[in-house]
Chains A and B, each alone.
Chain A
């Protein structure tokens, strides 16, 4: 449709753009960098096409449009007619310098000690424009109360520039609405309802706000000191598990291209830092698939054969702690739909402090379980009182990708230069299914590989080429897929307590749904309430973060759709290289059922250690 294109000039360069393109987007197409603080690629992407998303409140992206008196915010200026634009002029440079000096005039904080030092958009721009940051004075003391150190999401208004990325993310991406502007004029600030601490607000701890904050106003609680202390304590046996998403992203903190896998180099680094064992969370992801898959088969059997209405369908996944807190706050009537299976992080903790401790003669009270997660909400999950069935907390400390990167640097380790080394036994066997948990659709794909193979008795490769279940992949916010069960096989011994046969599934169509970003979860829940197509699903995967865990709130900053794609490529690439790609073929998992749980998934002992319950929250 070249006829519809509009010709504009930017700094003398003529280009054709489609109507509605913003001046900022057009400039970036011709490699003209316009500085921004409130604009964020995520908040203006196709994923959330809403005009209100462009806040245009930092006013850094101002440009001069021929014929217009005032400067125009390029992020919020759609091109609907030919125009001539200048992106740099004395007035524009002066305005940017003045605005930055104004922001610094209410900025209180110690830059070198700030978590965002060196990766701060405000700092970078002040440096680029050589701003005299004390031109309008600097606060001598905090202007706002500092957050309670216990908050997982640490929100310090003293470093806020009022760009509102956080609240736009919270509202439009996550559908949580925990944050709002409050006050006016000089008293304006970003607040929670009734100005509660984040931990007392209806925040789901997803950390998406942290990931988008241009400054250090939003950071996660720093648990690195506690982990160092445990490592230094000779009485403690410190075990770390690493999730697949941080392994695909932590290289970004060391200057690597997004999508550079660090899995096995990191094993070496972690050992050098003093961790006693390094385990692979994909082991417990496989364990989760067996428990959750068995639960699904059992729910389907109860509903279809026993006509027992107590088994709520569709079953919802339960591994995203942001999603769990979301449903507890906003859709408590649907809690019975959640799989009772704990997340992989918690399952790993539970078996470390029981099976592993017993097997090695360790006193579980001396075992410290640390996990590396792409996630801030995992810190909340680890602290849930119901997550200590063994008598000990399943997980003692959770580190985000960013926190661990800091620790590795503090240890003087250049991660990309490390040799590769394997995970430790007995939780070191990885499968491709466990790895893809990191991407939206991954849990579903892993579950389908196992459930389909178990039910049909046939190789999943006969249904989907190379066992790649492509229909559930991708970044569309809400997706649906279906598979028809054309043949059934014998019930494997491990499930024989749950169902007598699979005849009742012959010819059945299994429908699954997926959503990532809790604003998309709202769409799914609304569709279910309206009796729409998603209400006919049997199993729905929900991920709180856009893109799934690889786009988690604890991941390196920045995160964008391009970066998410690169991380996803790393993850699916790793999956394709594994010899074992199905959870039910993980030898470590099969061994723990033989040696420890004895009776297979959803048995008495596995229920005690590997399952949990949920509560309504206000």
Chain B
């Protein structure tokens, strides 16, 4: 496939363009489920949503559960500010995703898959249904995938309603159950008690897309890319103050500086890695690498140019969290609002030492005490901006 024809893709190398989804599916059909899980584990594939949980391990846990039916859920609630790479996968490589879900189903013993599509992507719904229909017609989904009566798997598409929190896997499951999107307690985990209280695997769109590639080309092919702790490559959504915004593929371990050079953002003042829930990296740290062990990201790269007011960025992100917190737990519900107010105030009046200490304590509490990843990561952007750009604040009146 000519990667230039892929809408939104700007980079030069795109692994998905070289993969044949159904080769991976056929191979997996011939494999024993344990061997399949072993292969995915050996590849070192980690979740592409941002948290980076080892995919093989998640599947192994789900397989070990005795209760059934089990569910495979594809998290297509791509809501992190600055990410749009799942959209590309869904428009141009939906077959990889659906093949990956079917492989996961075979691996854990699930016959039902659900793709949870963010409300803003409703325009993709008809296209995706078309792909599903074609795959059913081709015997790649249904009661006997590839003619194998022991391999039943089908997928339905469900549409979200636009809440950021529904990208958090347990809130996504609540939403699928028709409830208010709110994070659940994480014991039990979704692999034990997920959708309808049954064992459930939730993986990101991109994670599923890599699965048939890994099965087709082997664990070594995959782990040869990236670092030891973050094997493989991943897609990046690059936006902001750069010449060539768009979607890129890089192996893990790529230095931020190299990425900036290729996207035409070398004069950047800072880069937000990981969206609103990520961290803001100042120019002095551009030699850091994009990997779970250094700068972890769900794929969002936002470039800030030399003129960017960094506390405007902090204010914007904190406002986002004050709005998008599900409002369930106290540190996140109240903390984001207070932090947002404080940023507004410090932009006017500066920040004295006592207030700074109080806000750092608040931020630490939000990170340690919030119920889910949203609240736990909500102060990250503010803290990294405060650490590196405090000089941009007005001097406090004494």
Contact with B along A50-75 (1 / 0, CB 8 A): 01101111110010000000110100
Q: Is the Cβ of B163 less than 8 Å from the Cβ of A184?
A: yes
The reply to whether the CB of A273 lies closer than 8 angstroms to some CB of chain B is: no
A184 touches B338 (CB 8 A): no
State the CA gap A94–B360 with chains docked (Å): 11
Report if B337 contacts A (CB, 8 A). yes
Using Cβ atoms and an 8 Å threshold, which residues of chain A touch B182?
Answer: 181
Chain A CB within 8 A of B28 CB: no
Is A161 located at the chain interface by the 8 A CB criterion?
Answer: yes
Given the interface pairs A99-B365, A102-B334, A162-B333, the reply to whether A59 lies near B327 with Cβ below 8 Å is: no
Q: B368 contacts which of A70, A181, A186, A187 (Cβ < 8 Å)? A: A70
Specify which of B185, B330, B358 is in contact with A103 (CB 8 Å cutoff): B330
Flag if B369 contacts A71 (CB, 8 Å). yes
CB neighbours of A103 from chain B (8 A): 330, 334
Cβ–Cβ < 8 Å partners of B165 in chain A = 184
* A contact residues, range: 35 or more
Chain A 180-206 against B: per-residue CB contact (8 Å), 1 yes, 0 no?
A: 010111111000000000000000000
Instruction: Give A125-139 as 1s and 0s: 1 = Cβ < 8 Å from B's Cβ atoms.
Output: 000000000011100
Q: How far is the CA of A183 from the CA of B364 in the complex (A)?
A: 26
0 or 1 for each of B152-167: is its CB under 8 Å from A? (1 = yes): 0000000000010100
Do A98 and B361 touch across chains, with their CB atoms under 8 A apart? yes
How many chain B residues have a CB neighbour from A under 8 Å?
Answer: 38
- Knowing A58-B330, A59-B370, say if A186 contacts B361 (CB, 8 Å): no
- Report if A111 contacts B (CB, 8 A): no
* Contact between A186 and B327, CB atoms less than 8 A apart: yes
- Find out whether the CB atom of A185 lies under 8 angstroms from the CB atom of B330: no
Q: Is A612 an interface residue (CB 8 A)?
A: no
**Nearest CB in chain A: distance from B57 CB, A:** 17
Residues from chain B with a CB closer than 8 A to the CB of A70 are 367-370, 376
C-beta contact mask, B370-394 vs A, less than 8 Å → 1, else 0? Answer: 1100001000000000000000000
Does A102 contact B330, Cβ atoms closer than 8 Å? yes
Chain B nearest Cβ from A455, distance in angstroms: 49
User: Which chain B positions have C-beta within 8 A of A136?
Assistant: 334, 338, 362
Structural contact, B334 and A184, CB atoms closer than 8 A:
no
Chain A 97-117: CB-based contact to B (< 8 A → 1; otherwise 0): 011001101100000000000
Q: Which among B326, B327, B369 is the interface contact of A62 at CB below 8 angstroms?
A: B369
Which residues of A are found within 8 Å of B180, using beta-carbon distances? Answer: 181
Is B15 interfacial (CB-CB < 8 Å)? no
* CB nearest neighbor in B for A184: B327
Query: Do A94 and B365 form a contact, CB below 8 Å, given A54-B185, A185-B323, A185-B324?
Result: yes
Q: Nearest chain A CB to B144's CB is how many angstroms away?
A: 37
Closest chain B residue, CB of each to CB of A183: B327
B324, B358, B369: residue with the most chain A Cβ atoms closer than 10 Å: B369
Chain B residues contacting A463 (CB-CB under 8 Å) are none
- Pair A185/B369 contact, Cβ less than 8 Å: no
Residues of A within 8 A of B238 (CB): none
Contact B335 A76 (CB under 8 A): no
Contact A51 B185 (CB under 8 A): yes
Name the A residues within 8 Å of B353 (CB-CB): none
Q: Which chain A residues in 326-377 approach chain B with CB under 8 Å?
A: none
A56 contacts which of B185, B327, B341, B361 (Cβ < 8 Å)? B185
Assess whether A51 is in contact with B336, with CB atoms less than 8 Å apart.
no
A55 vs B330: C-alpha distance when bound (angstroms): 12
| Chain B residues close to A by CB (< 8 Å) | 163, 165, 180, 182, 184-185, 187-188, 193, 321-331, 333-338, 341, 358, 361-362, 364-365, 367-371, 376
Q: List 22 A-B contacts (CB under 8 A).
A: A54-B185, A56-B185, A59-B370, A73-B185, A73-B371, A76-B185, A78-B187, A91-B368, A94-B365, A103-B334, A136-B334, A184-B323, A184-B324, A184-B326, A185-B322, A185-B324, A185-B336, A186-B322, A186-B325, A186-B333, A186-B336, A188-B327
Instruction: State the 5 A-B residue pairs at the shortest beta-carbon distance, nearest first.
Output: A188-B327, A102-B334, A98-B365, A76-B185, A95-B365
What 16 new A-B contacts, CB under 8 Å, besides A51-B185, A73-B371, A136-B334? A52-B184, A70-B370, A94-B361, A95-B369, A99-B330, A99-B334, A102-B331, A102-B334, A102-B335, A105-B334, A136-B362, A162-B330, A162-B333, A181-B328, A185-B325, A186-B333
Which residues does A use to contact B, with CB under 8 Å? 51-52, 54-59, 62, 70-71, 73, 76-78, 80, 91, 94-95, 98-99, 102-103, 105-106, 135-137, 161-162, 181, 183-188
